[in-house]
A and B are shown apart, each in its own frame.
Chain A
Amino acid sequence: MTKINEQKVNSDFAMNFGPAHPGSGNFAIKVEMRGERVLKATADPGYLHRGFEKLMEYREPMQNSVLSDRVCVLEPLQWNLVHAEAVDYLMGYEIPERAKYIRVILAELSRIQSHFIWYAVLSLGTGFMTGFNISIGYRDYILDVLNLITGGRVYPAGYICPGGIRKDFPEKAENKILELLPKIDYMRKFMLKENPAWLSRFKEIGVLTKEEAIKFGATGPVLRGSGVAADVRRDDPYEIYDELEFDIPVMDEGDALARFNVGVQEIEESMKIITQAIERLPKGEVRTPTLKPIVKFQNAKGEIYIRNELSRGEGAFYMVATGQKTPYRVKIRGPSFTHMIPIVEHLLTGVDYADVPAIYWSLYQCPADVDR
């Protein structure tokens, strides 16, 4: 990064990157330019604010479970899981063993399809259309299985609900998931080896050092791409993650390629988790209190801050119960907020404009989760 003269010259101009652009949309970055060089970048969020935190104060937990899908379009099952865990804690539910395994299998499938989307938007943003098409195509195989299990392709509508899950696996669902794994593996290898010229574009750009990553509050693949081995599944295990064997991929470079490679390696780890969980899947009940979708939230009192490792980083729910039918207060912590505002502003300062899309999409953003 070169030093930039603060004094303005006549050729300086400002332009907007977004809010309508391929890949994500709903998020703008105002860039001040001098020729081809970015002088200053200012994030401009807020195009997708839906007010989930307030909405949840007016709805019962089962209804909130349906709402929690929509926090992030690309990883709805994982957001379901965080919400369900918060309510489970406040209600004191004991989750049946089978439900815990199914929750983990679905969360990992969701992580894989989310990583495929990451590859797709990274390709789309930097002009590699083959990558986009093939990645979206392979993601569809996963969506078919999710449709079979949850009844919806993208939105599971609160399939992972307080007390367990809403319905047991249908017949042969385990086989369908195992049949998926070779396809996922093919796509993973494609991501690693296809188009070395395109991959070389991400080398040594958008370098986030270890200290900066910690200072700005990065989590997930962005933090692990900067050389910090932190993962909630390992540090603060939930569900059955402490019984499973898997590695935490870490890379020291901190550039865009390192972040992306961490994501690709995570797909392999998720496949390991799914295989182990399906092998050990016990039989039994899938929901604690009753099969009817009613949670007596009047019995709950207290507060809880619960965090999970989503595909983008650390996602958390803070929930307060005061003996009413609905939660008194809900606060959602999305992983993309720190990546999209302080980190993107920091990384874009002083780079060439041609590198802006590559850096922006390498941060694994989700505008829906920034605005909530």
Chain B
Amino acid sequence: MKLGIIKEVFKNVFTKPMTLLFPFERLEIPERNRGEHSFDIDTCISCGACARICPNLALEMIEAPPEMKEKYPKTYPQIDIGKCCFCGLCEDTCPKGSIKLTTNVFLATFDKDDTVRSPMSWNK
């Protein structure tokens, strides 16, 4: 029994710890991870399927601002990350693959309004 403890101590001295030193080392986030959304407005066909399937009503179809109305005449999804439950149903339902969930999981903001992503300012 005592020898077993010594063996365990030596094993633990030479093995890597279970934890990571976070800002310097990071856990690899898999590709399928459901993080922040990316949206490509040019491929969007304004079908509204994403807004209909969203369980938390986080997606809303809005019109483009007047200066961009000529280029984008239809309605496009605006997302409130604060309401989103990151289920990924919008990604699955999109017929053109315009909405995708990315590996970015750092979404904390200082301002509440920053949680709303308008279709023009969404990252691609």
Task: Identify the A interface with B (CB < 8 A).
Answer: 59-60, 62-63, 66-67, 137, 140, 144, 147-152, 157-158, 166-167, 170, 291-294
Contact = CB atoms under 8 A, between A and B. Distances in A.
Q: Which 8 A-B pairs have the closest CB atoms?
A: A157-B87, A63-B55, A66-B87, A151-B32, A151-B34, A148-B30, A293-B92, A137-B18
A90 to B, nearest CB: 20
Given A292-B92, A292-B93, A157 B30 contact: no
Contacts, number: 55
A150 B86 CA distance: 12
Interface residues of B, number: 18
Nearest to A59: B55
Contact of A66 (B27, B29, B55): B55
B89 A62 contact: yes
B86 A157 contact: yes
A147 B33 CA distance: 7
Contact of A152 (B27, B55, B86): B86
B62 interface: no
B79 interface: no
Chain A binding surface, main DSSP class: loop
A63 B52 CA distance: 11
Interface in B64-105: 85-89, 92-93, 101
8 contacts: A66-B85, A66-B87, A144-B27, A149-B32, A151-B32, A292-B93, A293-B93, A294-B93
B45 interface: no
A228 B32 CA distance: 42
B44 to A, nearest CB: 17
Given A62-B53, A157-B85, A147 B92 contact: no
Contacts of A137: 18
Interface in B3-44: 18, 27, 29-34
A170 B33 CA distance: 12
A63 B33 contact: no
B118 to A, nearest CB: 25
A113 B30 CA distance: 20
A338 B88 CA distance: 35
Nearest to A292: B93
Contacts of B30: 147-148, 151, 170
A148 B33 CA distance: 7
A170 B92 CA distance: 16
A157 B88 contact: yes
B55 A67 contact: yes
Contacts of B27: 144
